[in-house]
């Protein structure tokens, strides 16, 4: 009589089962030794974090959410659109301005990577903001979508104004005045 052996299945890690972490990708990101920018899209906002890792211990150095666009002139009535393509682009510009250059890798996590999607609008903002990120230009959304040409004219004007505010350097006096408020 021949006994059949049971084939055992490998148990997946909890965060992999919950579709939160791709450990193979995480390992390659960590072994590169280059700091990374983590991009997450929630139901309402974008969350961007600059993360440095040392011996698999992550340290968040800078965090920005698309809520900060409200401080830069985004209309509160349009708060539901803080995860749109223009909002992602402007949030990327904000983080790039705060980081002031450097080489980074983008960590999109388990987000679907479709050319022209919202997460690539964030990456376009990071690249145009002056960060050294290797990315293919083909995956970025068109300039019309980044500038809000497909939206109402009032939104388009608001996006242009915010982009100008982010791009133009503020004087020390203006920064102190803004911090006092």
The reply to whether 103 falls in a domain is yes
Q: In what order do the strands lie in the sheet with 36-41?
A: 57-65, 46-54, 36-41, 105-107
What pTM does this model have? Answer: 0.83
For residue 114, the model assigns a pLDDT of 93
For residue 9, the model assigns a pLDDT of 83
For residue 92, the model assigns a pLDDT of 96
The reply to whether 74 falls in a domain is yes
- The structural domain count of the chain equals 1
Full pLDDT tens readout for the chain, 181 residues: 566 666 778 888 898 888 888 888 889 988 999 999 999 999 999 999 999 999 889 999 999 999 999 999 998 888 788 999 999 999 999 999 999 999 999 999 888 899 999 999 999 999 999 999 999 999 999 999 999 998 888 899 999 999 999 888 664 445 545 555 5
Rounded Cα distance between 49 and 40, Å, is 9
Range of the domain at 165: 20-169
Q: Which residues have a Cβ under 8 Å from the Cβ of 116 and sit 6 or more positions away?
A: 139, 140, 141, 142, 145
CATH assignment at residue 163: 3.30.420.100
Torsion of CA 164, 97, 68, 40, to 10 degrees: 120
Rounded Cα distance between 103 and 177, Å, is 32
The reply to whether 56 falls in a domain is yes
For residue 156, the model assigns a pLDDT of 92
């Amino acid at each position: 009589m021949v006994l059949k052996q049971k084939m055992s299945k490998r148990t997946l890690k909890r965060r992999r089962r919950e579709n939160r972490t791709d450990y193979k990708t995480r390992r390659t990101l960590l072994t590169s030794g280059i700091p990374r920018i983590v991009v997450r899209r929630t139901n309402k906002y974008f969350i961007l974090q600059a993360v440095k890792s040392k011996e698999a211990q992550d340290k968040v150095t800078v965090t920005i959410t698309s809520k900060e666009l409200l401080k830069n002139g985004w209309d509160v009535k349009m708060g539901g659109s803080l995860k749109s393509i223009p909002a992602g682009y402007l949030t990327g510009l904000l983080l790039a301005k705060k980081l002031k250059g450097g080489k980074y890798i983008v960590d999109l996590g388990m987000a679907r990577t479709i050319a022209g999607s919202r997460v690539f609008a964030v990456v376009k903002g990071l690249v145009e903001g002056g960060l050294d990120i290797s990315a293919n230009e083909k995956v970025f959304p068109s300039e019309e979508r980044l500038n809000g040409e497909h939206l109402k004219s009032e939104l388009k004007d608001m996006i242009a104004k915010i982009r100008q505010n982010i791009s133009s350097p503020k004087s020390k006096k203006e920064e102190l005045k803004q911090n006092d408020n």
